[in-house]
Amino acid sequence: MTISETILITGGAQRVGLHCARRLVEDGYRVIITCRTMRPEWQDQPLNGIEVMLADFSTLAGIEDFIRRLHQRAPVLRAIVHNASLWLDDHQGAQAMQQMYMVHVQAPYLINRAAEALLDPQQVTDIIHLTDHVAQRGSKKHMAYCASKAALENLTLSFAAQFAPRVKVNSIAPALIMFNTDDNDEYRRKTLEKSALGIEPGPEVVYQSIRYLMDNTYVTGTSLTLNGGRHLK
């Protein structure tokens, strides 16, 4: 089944975002991803069914420029997935809080307000914020990251109230989804021990969560827990 609708995924050039983009293309959607740099591998291995828009959300000008270009493209959006993120710990300087605030809060806030007009008026549509389990609990090593993700959780509530009933707005709050290549064995062992299920699930569980929220007509203003039972330990 070919669906002409388009789904926007920010930060979709790698890992979770790219996996979800590819799975949604398999479902028949057109997908637009954003990234700061084009990947050289795309020369030989093009991203079939995925359009790429360059966007750097580290400055207001960068966010506003992306919004302007998005409006020029004027896609009929079925969903917006705010996936772009920086995961900086608290040893990375005072700028880290500002950098993560721009990506996790300022960009979703401005894009949602501007892109509401691009969401398909012919059907109920979705905005999905990728937050984090630790937004509800805090973190001793990622305080600034947590605070910015907690702000994004709060934006879910505000936008859900404002955009209902035409647009559903929800968060997905993961704990470990996939490690980074430079995570050592000790870190991996300790992280896996933090959840009741003790696994590294991989990005498919985020795609499944996006599909659940898109397919369910009666869920808005919520935060979908995706944490392997981390709250049980």
Ligand X SMILES: Nc1nc2c(c(=O)[nH]1)N=C([C@H](O)[C@@H](O)CO)CN2
Ligand Y SMILES: NC(=O)C1=CN([C@@H]2O[C@H](COP(=O)(O)OP(=O)(O)OC[C@H]3O[C@@H](n4cnc5c(N)ncnc54)[C@H](OP(=O)(O)O)[C@@H]3O)[C@@H](O)[C@H]2O)C=CC1
103 contacts ligand Y (rule: CB under 6 A): yes
Which amino acid is located at 131 in the chain?
Answer: T
15 contacts ligand Y (rule: CB under 6 A): yes
13 contacts ligand X (rule: CB under 6 A): no
Active site residue ranges: 145
Choice from 7, 47, 52, 57 touching ligand Y (CB under 6 A): 57
Choice from 7, 8, 9, 16 touching ligand Y (CB under 6 A): 16
Where are the alpha helices (H) located in 53-142, listed in sequence order?
A: 60-73, 95-101, 107-115
Does residue 168 contact residue 219 with C-beta atoms inside 8 Å? yes
Query: Cα–Cα distances in Å, from 109 out to 29, 57, 113, 129?
Result: 24, 11, 6, 10
Q: Between residue 132 and residue 191, which ones bind ligand X under the rule CB under 6 A?
A: 132, 175-176, 180, 191
Q: Which stretch binds ligand Y (CB under 6 A): 32-40, 67-75, 136-144, 214-222?
A: 32-40
Nearer to ligand X, 85 or 220 (CB): 85
Q: Between residue 70 and residue 89, which ones bind ligand Y under the rule CB under 6 A?
A: 83-87
Phi/psi region, residue 84 (left: phi>0; alpha: psi -120 to 50; beta: rest), is beta
Question: Angle 205-113-66 (CA atoms, 0-180°, nearest 5)?
Answer: 80
Residues of this chain that bind ligand X (CB under 6 A): 85-87, 132, 175-176, 180, 191
